[in-house]
Amino acid sequence: MIKGIKIKLKPNNKQKTKLFESAGVARFAYNWTLNRQIENYKNGGKFIPDVELRKEFTKLKQTEEYSWLNNYSNNITKQAIKDACIAFIKFFKGESKYPRFKSRKRSKPSFYVDTDKIQFNGTHVKLEKLTTSRKKNKQKINWIRLCECERIPYGEGIKYINPRCSFDGINWWISVGIEYPDNTEIPTSEGVGIDLGIEKLAVVSDGNIYQNINKTKEVKRLEKKKKRLQRKVSKKYEIGREGNRYKKTKNIIKLENQLKKLNQRLTNIRHNYSHQVTTEIIKRKPSVIVVEDLNVVGIMKNKHLSKAIQEQRFYEFYKQIQYKSEWNNIKFVVADRYFPSSKTCSRCGNYKKDLKLSDRKYICESCGLILDRDYNASLNLKNYGQEIA
């Protein structure tokens, strides 16, 4: 199995400049490919494979106008061209929208690193054609410091898959895939059903309840601080307004950087909590995990619930529980979207049509069962998984 690891980088000023330049080179090659494909289509030509485009781009680099591209790794441009062609192929298959040109202001800066040229040790990473840094230790020249030590394995026989550097608006990160031996252990514990909600993040059929992290004092404090910063930024823009144009001052940039850091902190808190919950469920080694297929897009249309649902990060929870289940040989089942998990009695199977969203207790008129609404739904999801298995 392949596991992805993402670590924050700590580059010096020269290395930061080179990282941004490398991302700009990748963006240039991507946009060049898109423009080339669009012009070719307008002239009645067929789709150009990435192999031919890479050969054409190599000839372009030999011209005097584009000779500056030779100062950067050719693997950055090769992969950017390949990514643009893959984007077109996905569009033709109906898997994604029409590819768009990357913007210097709006697009996320990122670039590919060659798997053969990248090198790791316990504390640093070496990238191809990066600026040197003046240090006493000559072994650390061209090496970028990692914020976490001994996180990525290194040495002979280790292969890195699809390493990429990216910038999130505050920090530079490096992500890399590493192949690990498959887990052969087969879990034998009883399966579980997981009901996701707004009041509580998850109610599990084995009796465990995971509260909503957004209702804690720390998150509420940060959300309040975020609102204040947003109001400050808005007022600063209004003060410096010139007709229909807004002027961005240094004070606005400072406040926006503070807002970025605060948003990242909130995201990290929610992301970490999802990891803690999913890991705890997986460690109990259930044979089957069943979750419901929520229509999140439809629920988000409710203006009273949209913000609360967005903060719960249901997709992130699904994604984490799915790949962790695959790593541990646990069967992962997604119940049908129209499966009435909340309206069905978990004891006798009676269907209660008039159950409202405000009813937090499930009272069965047939067998007299009285249960918490979410716990009853999790038991029904568990039974759903047992029937399929």
pLDDT band at 244 (very low <50, low <70, confident <90, very high): confident
Mean pLDDT of 158-162: 90
pLDDT at 354: 83
Element (H, E) at 33: helix 13-42
pLDDT > 90? residue 136: no
pLDDT at 260: 94
pLDDT in tens, 5-42: 999 999 999 999 999 999 999 999 999 999 999 999 99
pLDDT at 389: 64
Phi, psi of 91 (to 5 degrees): -65, -40
pLDDT > 80? residue 62: yes
Element (H, E) at 176: strand 172-179
Domain definitions of the chain by residue range: 2-179, 192-388
Q: What are the structure tokens assigned to 186, written together?
A: 């087969």
pLDDT > 60? residue 137: no
pLDDT in tens, 294-344: 888 888 888 888 899 899 999 999 999 999 999 999 999 999 888 888 888
* CB-based contacts of 53-61 (< 8 A; 24+ apart in sequence): 53/81, 53/85, 54/78, 54/81, 54/82, 57/29, 57/32, 57/81, 60/32
Contact 373, 359 (CB under 8 A): yes
pLDDT band at 261 (very low <50, low <70, confident <90, very high): very high
Residues 387 and 194: their CA atoms lie apart, in Å, by 16
pLDDT > 50? residue 259: yes
pLDDT > 80? residue 132: no
pTM above 0.75, yes or no: yes
The percentage of the chain sitting over the pLDDT mark of 90, rounded to a whole number, equals 63
pLDDT at 139: 45
The percentage of the chain sitting over the pLDDT mark of 70, rounded to a whole number, equals 97
pLDDT in tens, 169-185: 899 999 999 988 888 88
pLDDT at 185: 86
